[in-house]
Amino acid sequence: MTVDAPRVRRRDRSHYLYLSVLIAMVLGIAVGFLFPDVGKALRPLGTGFVALIQMMIAPVIFCTIVLGVGSIRRAAQVGRVGGLALGYFLIMSTVALTIGLVVGNLLHPGAGLHLDEELAATGAAQVSAEAESGVDFVLGIIPESLFGALATQEVLQTLLVALLVGFAVQSLGERGEPVIRVVTVLQRLVFKILSMIMWLAPVGAFGAMAAVVGATGFDALKSLAGLMVGFYITCLLFVFVVLGLLLRLVAHMSIFKLFRYLAREFLLILATSSSESALPRLIAKMGHLGVSRPVVGIVVPTGYSFNLDGTAIYLTMASLFIADAMDDPLSVGEQISLLLFMILASKGAAGVTGAGLATLAGGLQSHRPELVPGVGLIVGIDRLMSEARALTNFSGNAVATVLVGTWTREIDNEQARAVLSGAAPFDESTYDDDPHDAHEPEPEPEPEPEPAR
């Protein structure tokens, strides 16, 4: 009899990257304060890192949009649960983006930095010398060839091609599955390259922070701290006011009791800075809470791609911060247009290191390309805000599962009350940490053969 060798878990090295970024940011601040001229001279390090992120914008958006449309098709096939979940996700993403815009316009955390002269030169080559008319703008969205947009930095062209491919694959039905599989493999390759680039984030953070602090001194730190505090406060308001009220009004459930039930998952997310780490546990715990298995199996995985409330708030507030810091604020029309773009572009990249920066750069590239170099301003604090993003995303998906279960009457309310009161605790000893086993249906046992007569 052979004994299977124990599975060896690959050690997660992302915490080394996190620590490296923090150390590099501190060193950059020190250099900027002590040697301002040297700090300004280090600006190419941050500019080079942003250029690498820009390189990944088109493939990231193409893959996430094509697979996102495919997810819509698969979710819609399961009937009213999938349709209701997708409609809720779209509404809540819009609410989160709008809240981010409102708070960003109230706080103006980037105002007063006056970094246009320091950074505009690096983005000047990307800006057309002549203003486009409305007709030219619309015609400019159409690429010269179907996949030509993927080789350029024309984000709206990439978005158009991705939507066309996605809906074409959707209309092919089963015959389109091979294309989905190919794009899935391509997405893994793209995200692998992106994760490799992110290991250069400490270098980019060091150069960007040294240059910004060297140019503005203490003002840069105050503005970055203002963005972080404003972002954390906005996430708290969204979770406890918006989601808390929805949960109370629809499911008659306290969000504080729900979060106490999910306390271990929140600690896990804090330790890993990723809501993906708690995905299998959320599936198991929502089932134990009393939500039916089909609802949990549809809402939670789909929500991890489509219900990214924390990411939505981050994208809008970061865009406004960069525009204000470079003394080139976004108009109301540009903010609304950017909001619509972010609703589409932010889907499908949950838990991928660097995807948030690529999506942020893509939004600015499509609307105000001269602001893209400003992405380097937030490389250092991006990781400091990742915990809030991940916790908000996780909270939104937990609440969404309960709400959809309530709307479809697929939740055992007595079980939910017993679980939240502590009368029916979750049994950790029976929990299997394998995410595949957590949400794949168990095979039905084969019937035993009848005894021979």
Task: Quickly count: other Cβ atoms within 10 Å of residue 447's Cβ.
Answer: 6
Q: What is the pLDDT of residues 124-142, one digit of tens each?
A: 333 333 334 445 556 667 7
Under the banding of pLDDT at 50, 70 and 90, the label for residue 325 is confident
Q: Is residue 321 part of a domain?
A: yes
Burial category of 133 from C-beta neighbours within 10 Å (exposed 0-12, middle 13-18, buried 19 and up)? exposed
Q: Is residue 438 part of a domain?
A: no
Measured between its terminal Cα atoms, the distance across the chain in Å is: 34
Q: What is the pLDDT of residues 47-72, one digit of tens each?
A: 777 778 777 777 877 887 777 666 66
Instruction: Please list the residues that pair with 291 across neighbouring strands.
Output: 411
CATH number at residue 284: 1.10.3860
Q: Is residue 194 part of a domain?
A: yes
Q: Is residue 379 part of a domain?
A: yes
Q: Which of 6-15, 87-96, 180-189, 224-233 has the lowest mean pLDDT?
A: 6-15
The reported pTM is: 0.68
Number of domains the chain is built from: 1
Q: Is residue 266 part of a domain?
A: yes
* 322-335 core/surface letters (b: 16 or more CB in 10 A; e: else): bbbbbeebbeeeeb
Domain containing residue 355: 14-128+135-425
At 141, the amino acid letter reads I
Task: Quickly count: other Cβ atoms within 10 Å of residue 170's Cβ.
Answer: 17
Q: Is residue 291 part of a domain?
A: yes
Asked whether 96 and 313 are in contact (CB, 8 A), the reply is yes
| Cα-Cα-Cα-Cα dihedral sign, residues 309, 315, 320, 321 | positive
Q: What is the pLDDT of residues 378-411, one digit of tens each?
A: 766 776 777 788 889 899 999 999 999 999 888 9
Q: Is residue 451 part of a domain?
A: no
Q: Is residue 188 part of a domain?
A: yes
